[in-house]
Amino acid sequence: MKKEFKEALEASPIIAAVKDDEGLKKCLSSESSVIFILYGDICTISDIVETVKASGKIAMVHLDLIHGLSAKDIAVDFIKKYTRADGIISTKPALIKRAGELGLFSILRLFIIDSMAYENIDRQIKTAKPDLIEILPALMPKIVAKICGLSPVPVIAGGLVSDREDIMALLHAGVLSISSTNEEVWFL
Q: Which amino acid is at 153?
A: V
CATH of domain 2-177: 3.20.20.70
Q: pLDDT tens digit string along 16-66? A: 999 999 999 999 999 999 999 999 999 999 999 999 999 999 999 999 999
Give pLDDT, residue 2. Answer: 72
In this prediction, residue 116 carries a pLDDT of 93
Low-confidence ranges of the chain (pLDDT < 70): 1
Distance, in Å, from the CA atom of 37 to the CA atom of 164, rounded to the nearest integer, reads: 23
Q: Residue 5: CB partners within 8 Å, gap ≥ 6?
A: 34, 58, 86, 87, 105, 131
- Please state whether 86 falls in left (phi above 0), alpha (psi between -120 and 50) or beta: alpha
pLDDT at 93: 97
Other CB atoms within 10 A of residue 171 CB: 15
Residue 4: its pLDDT value, please?
A: 80
Query: What is the pLDDT at residue 153?
Result: 94
Q: What is the pLDDT of residue 12?
A: 87
